[in-house]
A and B are shown apart, each in its own frame.
Chain A
């Protein structure tokens, strides 16, 4: 099947590669761009571990073809910290113990970034609703909610 050259910008850096149409975006991010912070969990578009922001929208990148992202701007977990300083959401997860094994964390944080962009001061129930697309098998979610509340407060101050 014919390959095609695609260009994407991930965290401000251009990546150009020839891809097979069937390559999933998560594989492009991890294997072509070498950004392995975005994880592959369920592979069935349920768990959200592969969540990245594509043209401003939180997307499960295992349910999108890399070739569809030709020309897109993508943000992954690697792009959040600036000059070595953790983003307030990352800081919240650190301070509030929002993770145990950490596998879901990159996707959880990217989904939280979309949530706080759309709703800077969410209630607890809005946080839980906004993170419905991301599964965590360790924390029971309470500390994740605390982490997002921490971040919301910090980002507003």
Chain B
């Protein structure tokens, strides 16, 4: 399988890349890690006329800390996040989520910005990004803007990013004291994508739940925050019964639960509850 013909340009700056997007409109596609786009092009499901390869733009890579926030360049690979000392020390959930993605070769090439922009409903990053209240920075002709994770995912493979915008950074607030997180998923055995994936961030003081954020991926066409679970458990003790009762609300208000050959709607709903319970138990232990 070989992609259709296209022009290839590898700009060295974000400004150049933006100019190319403006010039070529929707016939251009941005290439990051390529592990979603290139297979899609080989199947001729995507036939862009121009490929703008972002991989030579150094400014889009790397992880740094600034005033209580980790700033992750959009082109930072899953492997870099999985092995980042800064991520491990400041937000271990990021490293844990990265390590759960695909396989070694995919993590070597795949990028956080590319994954978010692709918005596969079973991708791993959305769960963590939602639970951590991250913000996605994007730049376009009209300048830079910041999009909250909760406003970012709009539909299957559809985000709030305009066709002429580029994701530049992901800003993740570093959680405060007594806060722990975890990411658990049931992977589809062949692809590694999440049949249900749950990221939890919780603040625990003397076994009482002070705060809780639950991000769920793989279950609905749009990843979401399980608000019912969060409000149910807040202020209560992390007992098995309380956690189990709260986790029952993991699909409350979700009316577009996915169904495919790997998992029925009923099974996915059950998985969401089970993995929410296990993730909270694991983080609170």
Contact between A68 and B2 (Cβ–Cβ < 8 Å)?
A: no
Q: Given A43-B42, A68-B53, A68-B55, A22 and B5 touching (CB < 8 A)? A: yes
B5:A1 contact, CB within 8 angstroms = yes
Q: Which of B34, B104, B106, B190 contacts A114 (CB 8 A)?
A: B104
* 5 nearest A-B pairs in the assembled complex, by CB-CB distance: A133-B103, A21-B8, A132-B103, A57-B108, A1-B5
Instruction: Please measure, in the bound complex, the distance between the C-alpha atom of A26 and the C-alpha atom of B5, giving whole angstroms.
Output: 17
Which of A2, A27, A43, A65 is the most central at the interface, judged by chain B CB atoms within 10 Å of its CB?
Answer: A65
A contact residues, total (Cβ < 8 Å): 33
Query: Cβ of B38: which chain A residues have Cβ within 8 Å of it?
Result: 24, 45, 63-65
For the complex, give the distance between the alpha carbons of A66 and B145 in Å. 34
Interface residue count on the B side (C-beta < 8 Å) = 31
Residue picked from B31, B34, B39, B103, most chain A C-beta under 10 Å: B103
Does A22 lie within 8 Å of B6, measured CB to CB? yes
Q: Pick from A4, A20, A23, A68 the residue with the most CB of B within 10 Å.
A: A68
Selected from A21, A51, A131, the residue in CB contact (under 8 A) with B6 is: A21
How far does the alpha carbon of A132 sit from the alpha carbon of B42 in the complex, in Å?
23
Q: List 26 A-B contacts (CB under 8 A).
A: A20-B5, A21-B7, A21-B51, A22-B3, A22-B4, A22-B6, A24-B2, A24-B42, A44-B43, A45-B106, A48-B103, A57-B79, A58-B105, A59-B108, A59-B109, A60-B35, A60-B106, A63-B38, A64-B38, A65-B31, A68-B34, A68-B53, A111-B104, A131-B104, A132-B103, A133-B104
Residue from B34, B39, B105 within 8 A of A133 (CB atoms): B105
B8 touches A67 (CB 8 A): yes
The one of A22, A58, A63, A132 in contact with B192, judged by C-beta atoms closer than 8 angstroms, is: A132
Q: A35 within 8 Å of B by Cβ?
A: no
Interface centre among B5, B102, B108 (most CB of A within 10 A): B108
Interface string of B31-68 (1 = CB under 8 A from A): 10011001101110000000101010000000000000
Is A46 an interface residue when CB atoms closer than 8 A count as contact? yes
Asked if A130 is at the interface of the complex by the 8 Å CB criterion, the answer is yes
On whether the beta carbons of A64 and B7 are closer than 8 Å, the reply is: no
The CA of A23 and the CA of B4, in the complex, are separated in Å by: 10
Chain B neighbourhood of A60, CB < 8 A:
35, 105-106, 109
Residues A63 and B103 in contact, CB atoms below 8 Å apart:
no
- Cβ-closest chain B residue relative to A19: B8
Q: Which residue of A lies closest to B110 (CB)?
A: A63
Flag if B6 contacts A58 (CB, 8 Å): no
Which residues of the other chain, B, contact A22 by a CB distance below 8 angstroms? 2-6, 41
A10-31 to B contact mask, C-beta < 8 Å, 1/0:
0000000000111110010000
Output the least CB separation between B189 and chain A (Å).
Answer: 11
Measured CB to CB, the closest approach of chain A to B24, in angstroms, equals 14
A108 to B2, CA, bound (A): 23
Q: Which of A113-139 contact B (CB under 8 A)?
A: 114-115, 130-134
A62 to B42, CA, bound (A): 10
| CB-based contact B109/A57 at 8 Å | yes
Please tell me if the beta carbons of A58 and B104 are within 8 angstroms of each other in the complex: yes
B-side contacts of A20, CB under 8 Å: 5
CB-CB < 8 A to B102: which residues of A?
133
- By a CB distance below 8 angstroms, the chain A residues around B39 are 44-45, 63
- Interface check B266, CB cutoff 8 A: no
- Contact: B35 with A46, CB < 8 Å? no
